[in-house]
């Protein structure tokens, strides 16, 4: 992790403690260990000793997850001047779930794992800004339709767009009406079975490749390309961390 990245994370992670009690942990080293797990996809027990005890790092990861620290970070980035939310995009990608992901408390449905002929899968639904930087996520079992996650994605703390780009999977009257109510232009191709084929601005629609490229960069992290986590919150935590790093790099390059 670079100094610039740590400068962003530090205010969210370092807590002030009284003079009594245990000394604060080296949160930068812990976070580096979590990033190592994210990038390599390795089991927690294989974490190199230089990052500290694997169980301590894992417990800290779960504490930050349950506290919603990364939700606050993403919300802040989405509302910052770096975000271009006038045009937004929504899409989803399938993630194969490893057999170790089975058995989470609450069952498959609660932890967003589906079972089909292709095996265990999770679908990651994403809403991004005009640059293809994520401002919201939603997990569903792999067999769920794209439209099933639309309402949850639109409840994220982000401004309504002037235009929303999406593929044919989101072509429904309910979604189009909701976007128009929000003052957004739905740039969504019509399904072939529609009686009335609505025109699409092809120049705008071509920009949708940015969300596809976002998924490509996200899956460079092997812990995201394949789901090993039993709990949906743990898997989503890795997704959020990798996304925040993309945000930070974008901000510093611009």
3-class secondary-structure state, position 102: coil
Q: Say yes or no to pLDDT of 224 above 80.
A: yes
Out of 122-126, 168-172, 232-236, 248-252, pick the least confident. Answer: 248-252
Q: What are phi and psi of 184, to 5 degrees?
A: -105, 145
* pLDDT average, residue stretch 19-48: 84
Among 103, 97, 104, 91, smallest CA distance to 118 is for: 97
Instruction: Give residue 132's pLDDT.
Output: 93
pTM summary value: 0.90
Is the separation of the CB atoms in 161 and 184 below 8 Å? yes
Among 150, 144, 160, 137, smallest CA distance to 224 is for: 137
99 exposure class (CB count in 10 Å sphere: 0-12, 13-18, 19+)? exposed
Alpha helices in 121-231 (DSSP H): 150-154, 173-181, 202-205, 209-218, 222-225
Instruction: Give residue 117's pLDDT.
Output: 77
Instruction: For 43-97, give the DSSP string.
Output: -GGG--GGG--HHHHHHHHHHHHHHTHHHHHHHHHHTSTT---SEEEEEEEEEEE
Tens digit of each residue's pLDDT (9 = 90 or more) over 121-159: 999 999 999 999 999 999 999 998 899 899 999 988 788
Q: Is the alpha carbon torsion for 224, 225, 231, 232 positive or negative?
A: positive
Q: Which two tokens stand for residue 173?
A: 């009257």
Q: Say yes or no to pLDDT of 205 above 70.
A: yes
Q: Which residues have a Cβ under 8 Å from the Cβ of 2 and sit 6 or more positions away?
A: none
Instruction: Write the CA distances from 241 to 117, 135, 158, integer angstroms.
Output: 31, 13, 19
Instruction: Give residue 25's pLDDT.
Output: 62
Residue 91's pLDDT band, with cuts at 50, 70 and 90, is: very high
Residue 19's pLDDT band, with cuts at 50, 70 and 90, is: very low
């Amino acid at each position: 992790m670079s100094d610039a990245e740590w400068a962003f994370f530090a205010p969210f992670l370092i807590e002030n403690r009284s003079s009594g009690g245990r000394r604060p942990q080296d949160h930068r080293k812990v976070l580096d260990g979590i990033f190592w797990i994210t990038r390599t996809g390795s089991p927690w027990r294989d974490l190199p000793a230089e990052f500290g005890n694997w169980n301590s790092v894992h417990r800290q990861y779960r504490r930050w997850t349950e506290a919603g620290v990364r939700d606050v970070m993403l919300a802040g980035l989405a509302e910052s001047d770096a975000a271009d939310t006038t045009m937004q995009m929504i899409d989803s990608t399938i993630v194969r779930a490893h057999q170790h992901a089975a058995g989470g408390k609450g069952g498959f449905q609660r932890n967003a794992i589906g079972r089909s002929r292709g095996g265990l899968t999770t679908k990651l639904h994403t809403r991004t800004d005009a640059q293809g930087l994520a401002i919201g996520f939603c997990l569903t079992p792999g067999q769920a339709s794209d439209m099933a996650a639309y309402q949850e994605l639109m409840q994220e703390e982000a401004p309504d767009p002037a235009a929303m780009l999406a593929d044919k999977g989101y072509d429904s009257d309910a979604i189009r009406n909701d976007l128009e109510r929000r003052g957004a232009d739905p740039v969504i191709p019509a399904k072939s079975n529609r009686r009335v084929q609505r025109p699409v601005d092809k120049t705008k629609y071509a920009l949708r490749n940015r969300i596809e490229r976002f998924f490509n960069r996200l899956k460079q992290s092997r812990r995201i390309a394949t789901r090993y986590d039993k709990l949906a919150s743990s898997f989503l935590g890795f997704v959020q961390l990798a996304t925040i790093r993309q945000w930070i790099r974008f901000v510093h390059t611009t």
